[in-house]
Amino acid sequence: MDYSAFQSLEINKLTKVYLGEIQIKNPALWWPFGMGQQNLYELNVEMLKGNDTFFSKTSKIGIRKAELVQQPIDCIEPDENCKGKDAGRSFFFKINEKEVYMKGANMVPIDYYPNRMKSESELKWLLFSAQAANINVLRIWGGGMYLDDNFYELADQAGMMIWHDMMFSCKIYPVHSKQFVENSKIEVREQTGRLQHHSSIVFWDLNNEGEDQAYWGDPGNWTIY
């Protein structure tokens, strides 16, 4: 692996984000279940002050490209309501430039008590049961909760794609409250930062049925939605 020079970007007086680039020639790609191998690399990061390590972290990452393809669609039977490419847009995914047919299920919290959701054997059973049913993607419902790291690690290993909602669902939220918006920004940054290296997460969705906001909370204001 070749490391480029590191740069630092100061976000505030307490936090710095260190940006670097790692180049891997001809990497073994990560593939979803049924399309190929789930190749994972071990990434070790250490931060030194002099000769002393003050921070270290090890993660397993898969290298893959996930793309949502939305292209204009021609009208099948053109009329006054549909002309040319007015029929909408396509909605399908490519992984590593190959089209994938997603066969999914909705995943709600598997227990009322979060501290009882950490059993590796139970999570493996859930993922292997999904595979046995020919499911290759699980949607983490926005009315539930973010899961512990071990779930996403197991999903990486199993090749189970994850469609992940943010935890906003079926509510009219106080979007005009600066405090609420700032708090939500922190939540989104922390969760996407924690989970961004997981190759299994191929799509982030901002909410579940959040259109209530545009219908009743701020009628007609789809920008807020």
Is residue 188 assigned to a domain?
A: yes
pLDDT digit string (tens) for 147-170?
A: 989 999 999 999 999 999 999 888
- The pLDDT averaged over each successive group of 10 residues in the chain (225 residues) is 44 60 85 96 83 86 94 80 75 95 92 77 92 96 91 96 92 85 91 93 88 66 61
Q: Are residues 121 and 183 in the same domain?
A: yes
Phi then psi for residue 16, to 5 deg, are: -125, 140
What's the pLDDT at 55? 81
What's the pLDDT at 1? 38
Q: Are residues 107 and 211 in the same domain?
A: yes
Instruction: Give residue 200's domain range.
Output: 101-217
Q: How far is CA 118 from CA 22, 141, 144, in A?
A: 32, 18, 15
Q: Are residues 74 and 31 in the same domain?
A: no
Is residue 224 assigned to a domain?
A: no
What's the pLDDT at 68? 95
Give the integer Cα–Cα distance in Å for 191 and 204: 11
What's the pLDDT at 188? 92
Instruction: Count structural domains, the chain.
Output: 3
- Residues annotated as catalytic are 209
Give the integer Cα–Cα distance in Å for 174 and 190: 21
pLDDT digit string (tens) for 26-47?
A: 899 999 999 999 999 998 888 7
- The count of other CB atoms within 10 Å of the CB of residue 166 is 19
Is residue 179 assigned to a domain?
A: yes
Contact 8, 16 (CB under 8 A): yes
Give the integer Cα–Cα distance in Å for 82 and 74: 9
Q: What residues are paired with 56 via a beta bridge?
A: 46
Contact 194, 153 (CB under 8 A): no
What's the pLDDT at 160? 97
